Structure 1
């Protein structure tokens, strides 16, 4: 298996939601025209023996020798205007790393918002700077590194194909911030080993530095102009000149960990099983060439991973997705992204081991991984009117994607195969995809996948081997973006036999068409952006031609001072069916969401929901109802994050409540310092449903709580200690308690520390 992975990705040229978000044109960047050399950021080599101290200060003489870059402009609210604040960037490098120094001036330094935050929680409500690095130079993907004025960090990948940021990847880098009388300064150390680049020279490298300034009006300044009308935020990354690559590209990182765990349960039958044990884990990252990275994990442990945020599900017909939080699956996640959710790594429930090989060249890139999974979750069984599920057995999986680029055309090919233990059958999926930037405004994305499946559901809700059944799915997405308009057309079609157990497919056997049209204005004053929108969606069952769902809803979106975003939609005739022979349920409701930063100690307040005539999918009827949700991010103290959230759904008729579901979570994080945190999470879910359609009344409740201490010396050396407790069921609940201690060590860091 190892040889197969290495050969598959180790060849190639050596040089080579239904909830609306901010309109795409508002997020977009500039055309793909190249930046001039006048826009270049120039790096300066450190002299032999010079060392940069990571304290956030720019006092070292080497910083004064490096050319300063100061030509910042506004991205928002007034694109192309002079920068809101003075910002200066200098870049140094040595044999091991890039050093980026940023001086962020502020005329009123007491107004800088610099709370303590967890890793990857640096957001637009804080003063921060961000560095984008495209070490391939194609402007199709870029690694980004954020640092707040308090020294908080975040990182990830920005991909041009869907113009989105993914905070899942974690790269080894160090950063520090320093507050001074004129603002604050930041120093980042980004090892070459953490950058994804092709061998040869760094002549094609590109960079951009941006700065967020949250005041009554939120400002977003960048080191290069990013017009509104473009296809991606990273389309005008400027040249990074002067960098000389290290002669040695190879590196090997070993990170063993040891976990002690004790657990105890109290089951509904009165029994109380318990146990203690030790688990050893090894994570490996090997880079034999600049373009080639191999990752492996043996017996991974995810005790420290935070609980998933609970979601309303009692009235849902289709499965809900959850974000990936496990480090092994972060690497190369951008290479696996396609127009459909073709790879969903949460489908791997409890891996025994995993192995991945990733190649990133100038013309070809690809990632292939193998996972031996113990199972224990659910296998999704998609249909036209809902998603079923059966128990997931153990499996062996191989999945990957190869991609290439030729001018404005990017192509890809995906393969995923899953073999279930005990001869229960298999699921194989493969097919091509493409992305074509037709001109400055039009972009086309498409994917076609074919599946073959012999693992079928049995009456006992388990997989059993059966006759092979094939199916297919096609996705076509055309988008036109300008500075004041946007059009998006999606066409998705699939056969009833299509299934993708390694992806996230919840509906098949339908022909689905959707259209989005938007027209924008940029007024002056408290409202800086205003969009009128019209959305339409229509889905039919392919076999019968019966309408599955249809919805046409006009609305608007606006943005303004105090980080305001507000959208409102009217769903005047939203119809759906729960089965081919079921009646067409006609819904009529308002849907809205508002997000704002009321004060510095309440950086985020989000309130939204639906109100009107809503479908009760369990009873196959329409009732008066409402759905509401609240997310309240507060900072009562600079070291304390406190975030309660609550969602509720109620359906009534004739004065009687037929359904009430509520989910709530309280998250609190105390920052002892930049490296140590204490995180507490409490969740509560309740569901009450009256008897309907021959089904008895239902009452259920779940409670979960966890407390986790973390000491994060670096991305590779971390200590965790935690406690968790759960209670499931209303009448005869099942209870469980667990405590754990986990230590992960980076071998190179440990060797350096011991050698002092």
Structure 2
């Protein structure tokens, strides 16, 4: 009995010491004297700062003792939070650090912190620096579970590599974050983190992580201070100048070049109206794609492809507009002349509003077996509004409205959503939406298979567009998640009515009701070549509004996290899915489609065995519907990625996609897509990059029974870009790009577009 008593109290004292730190705020000292950011920690302010150590490896292990020492110091001066890191290392020759562009260093040695200025476990700002001083910042949104480095703020840092490790100084202006301004001591959520990638990528923290708690931001520690801190009404003007010249031609017509010039002056404005509310505005913006999209193959695919938003104005505070359904996907707006956005958080109220025009209007026409892109030569007004009220730490209610309006077209969406953190392990989320839409009367004719002379010329897209006057419908989503240390489960039901549209968002499917049941089990090890083994899977079934089956799917996966930052996954899928409609002029599915049974095996592997090499391979083989000819074939798909760092400055990246679909013993098509990127990063601010993207598709014309196809298609695009960034707002770009195509009638790759461009922006900040 005495042994049991002693054992109980020893464990109680240990657990109290481990988990108490997350509930005891650490005081942040105030100092009115500034420091010089140079990577040295000689100033007296650092000696008087709050000092503590990172003592817990929270991933991939479970709160174990770290193999290296990391000392953190912090203080504030009323306007800026200063944080320093002493990252000790027994062998600095093993540092995994390179000169890279901002936000491209997440796999490196890093030190940094998370801050939740409202201390409500909703949103946290992240600030990280590698040993060469390259910055990375991000926003983590607990409401959606997303972590995005699209957010860019202006803050300062410096780093210095020593014989026994490296040191980093960080200065974060308080004005770049929203927080409640008052004369009282403020308590913020905070966590201080070091990433130590060697054989394993260790995440070292000042607080332990409870794997039985599914809420990440709920487990932040607390820091207190900032009594006299004021955010101020910060004001930033960013004028931009764009100069460009290009030419293009139709290589199947005359082949004559048509020249064009682009000379634009624009202005971006950022204003901190109050400490909690900010405004962003843009006039005559240039939204050209300096950051090229990752190439994607669209062959044998019936739904529109998704591309990430990369334009600064739309990325700024984009997390304010997120919800369960993707209602705001701003890549739908192609050529705005202006935009205005207001975002903020006041007490328990979070809100966002943006307005922008678009010279040409494009939107997705969704269906249940495919989707298309429609374009109108009409200017539209685009509006998104989002409001969330946090009734408590566990319960939040939200409202979202979007609007797209042109001369003969509109789409209005309104909806209510709720998230309830039932317990540390259980979450319930729901969203209910309604829409009202009107299409131009004659728009459907652009999608007819022939001349729309009779109903037999119609297809799903034309039928979805062929509506008189305005029409409306509803969509809703119910989701329950349970997650704890060893196992997890989820149950989701989503219904999207035939007439529901979310044209400002990314919605490719309607007339579809889907149920998902899934879960998995985890095994952990802190003393083996593997750290986690997981078995997971789900079952789902989809019907249209007429209760006709569209798809039934079951899949299971075995995954292993191991040494050398490796991850391995095996999967098996069985799916019953309908193919094309036999009579495309009818939207019915039963007795109008063939229900195919597909069995597919998949494999994924990735590893970073040494600091300068990363590789991954995604592979699958099995049954695949041939959507062009409505039959079942066998498909092999391979997607390798290799990244090689040569020295501290040069990076070579190769991404390839290979798809091969066979019909019985004959090959229907073979498709190759290659994306090569070579980047030389001179220092933290400037790089030179060359991109080459090439596609090669070979088809067997004899096997295409529904329509004629080209036997061969090739394309090649290149871009050469020089970039200099003084900070995220003050930037200079100059570059050249071109593209070429080859079809069956064009015997060699022929250029059809060429352009040179320059962009300069400079930020005046007050």
TM-score using structure 1 length: 0.91
Conserved? CA contact 2:284–2:336, under 8 Å: yes
Q: 1:525 aligns with which of 524, 528, 548?
A: 528
Shift of 1:574: 4.6
Q: How many angstroms does 1:88 deviate by?
A: 1.3
1:474 paired residue number:
476
1:210 maps to 193
Distance in structure 1 (CA, Å) of the matches to 2:176 and 2:268: 16
Aligned to 2:456: none
Question: Which residues of structure 1 form unaligned runs of 5+?
Answer: 1-29, 750-756
Which of 196, 211, 223 in structure 1 is aligned with 2:178?
A: 196
Q: Please give the alpha-carbon distance, in whole angstroms, between the structure 2 residues aligned to 1:609 and 1:244.
A: 56
The question of 1:591 aligning with 2:576 is answered no
Whether contact under 8 Å (1:719, 1:742) holds in the other structure is yes
Q: For 1:366 and 1:444, locate their aligned partners in 2 and report how far apart those are by CA, in whole Å.
A: 22
| Residue of 104, 123, 134 corresponding to 2:87 | 104
**Counterpart residue number, 2:502:** 500
Distance 1:100 1:738, change over 3 A: same
Quote the residue 2:52 is aligned against: 69
Once residues 719 and 262 of structure 2 are traced to their aligned partners in structure 1, the CA distance between those partners, rounded to angstroms, is: 20
- CA separation of 1:396 and 1:516: change in aligned 2, threshold 3 A: same
- 1:284 pairs with 2:282: no
In structure 2, what is the equivalent of residue 176 of structure 1? 158
Is it true that 1:650 corresponds to 2:636 in the alignment?
no
Distance 2:185 2:234 in 1: 19
Q: What's 2:585 paired with?
A: none
Say if 2:395 is the partner of 1:409.
Answer: yes
Cross-structure match for 1:740: 757
Residues paired across the two proteins, number: 710
CA offsets per residue over residues 444-466 of structure 1, 9 Å max, x none?
11111111001254202598994
* Structure 1 residue 373 corresponds to structure 2 residue 358: yes
Partners of 2:604 and 2:22 in 1: how far apart?
Answer: 44
Q: Report how far residue 210 of structure 1 moved.
A: 0.9
Q: Confirm or deny: 8 A CA contact 1:254 1:285 kept in the other structure.
A: yes
Q: Measure the CA separation in 2 of the matches of 1:647 and 1:85.
A: 40
Q: Which residue of 1 aligns with 2:10?
A: none
Decide whether the 8 Å contact of 1:424 with 1:465 is kept in 2. no
Cα distance, 1:570 vs structure 2: 0.9
1:681–1:705 contact (8 Å) kept in structure 2:
yes
Residue 628 (structure 2) aligns with? 618
Counterpart of 2:404 (choices 418, 427, 438) is 418
Name the larger-Rg structure.
2
- Alignment of structure 1 residues 244-643 onto 2, 5 Å: 244-247=227-230, 249-268=232-251, 269-303=254-288, 305-375=290-360, 378-393=362-377, 394-407=379-392, 408-420=394-406, 423-456=407-440, 457-461=443-447, 466-523=468-525, 524-543=527-546, 545-579=547-581, 580=589, 581-602=592-613, 604-643=614-653
CA distance in structure 2 between the partners assigned to 1:389 and 1:274 by the alignment: 27
- What corresponds to 1:701 in structure 2? 714
Q: Distance in 2 between the 1:465 and 1:590 partners?
A: 42
Shift of 1:163: 2.5
The answer to whether the 8 A contact 1:373-1:395 is kept is: yes
Counterparts of 1:659 and 1:413, CA distance in 2: 47
Match of 1:13 in 2: none
The answer on whether the counterparts of 1:614 and 1:625 sit within 8 Å (CA) in structure 2 is yes
The TM-score with structure 2 as length reference comes to 0.89
SS in 2 for 1:430: strand
Q: Distance in 1 between matches of 2:552 and 2:122?
A: 35
Deviation at 1:350, TM superposition (A): 1.5
The structure-2 alpha-carbon separation of the partners of 1:177 and 1:165, relative to structure 1 and needing over 3 Å to count, comes to same
Separation (CA, whole Å) in 1 of partners of 2:246 and 2:721: 16
Q: Does 1:688 align with 2:674?
A: no
SS at the partner of 2:360? coil
- Kindly indicate whether the alpha-carbon contact (under 8 Å) linking 1:161 and 1:232 is maintained by their aligned counterparts in 2: no
Task: Note if 1:675 corresponds to 2:674.
Answer: no
Q: Distance in 2 between matches of 1:640 and 1:202?
A: 47
Secondary structure (helix, strand or coil) at the match of 1:335 reads helix
C-alpha displacement of 1:36: 5.1
Cα offset for 1:304? 5.6
1 CA distance for matches of 2:529 and 2:231?
Answer: 54
Distance in 2, Cα, partners of 1:583 & 1:417: 38
Mapped to 1, the partners of 2:305 and 2:416 lie a distance apart of: 26
Deviations 1:333-370 (A, max 9, x none): 21211111111111111111100011212300110000
Matches of 2:544 and 2:475, distance apart in 1:
14
Q: Structure 2: how far apart are the matches of 1:82 and 1:598?
A: 23
Q: Which deviations, in whole Å up to 9, do the C-alpha atoms of 1:151-195 show, x marking residues without a partner?
A: 111111101123221111111112121111221111111111111
Counterpart for residue 150 of structure 1: 132
Query: SS state of the match for residue 199, structure 2?
Result: coil
**By how many angstroms is 1:199 displaced?**
2.2
Q: Residue in 2 aligned with 1:54? A: 37
Q: CA 1:160–1:84 in 2, change beyond 3 Å: closer, same or farther? A: farther
Aligned-pair CA distance for 1:203: 1.7
- Contact 1:679/1:707 (CA < 8 Å) preserved in 2? yes
1:624–1:304 CA distance, 2 compared to 1 (3 A): closer
Change (3 A) 1:248 1:592: closer
- Whole-angstrom distance in 2 between the partners of 1:635 and 1:37: 38
Indicate the larger mover: 390-399 or 432-441. 390-399
SS at match of 1:346: helix
Calculate the aligned-residue CA RMSD, in Å. 2.0
* Higher RCO structure (Cα 8 Å, ≥6 apart): 1
Name whichever of 237-246 and 278-287 sits farther off.
Answer: 237-246
Deviation string, structure 1 residues 92-131 (Cα, Å, up to 9, x no partner)? 222431111111111222211111111111213x110121
CA contact (8 A) 2:25 2:222 kept: yes
In the alignment, is the contact (CA less than 8 A) between 1:425 and 1:465 conserved in 2? no
* Structure 2 Cα separation of the partners of residues 342 and 745 of structure 1: 32
Instruction: Indicate whether 1:187 and 2:169 are aligned.
Output: yes
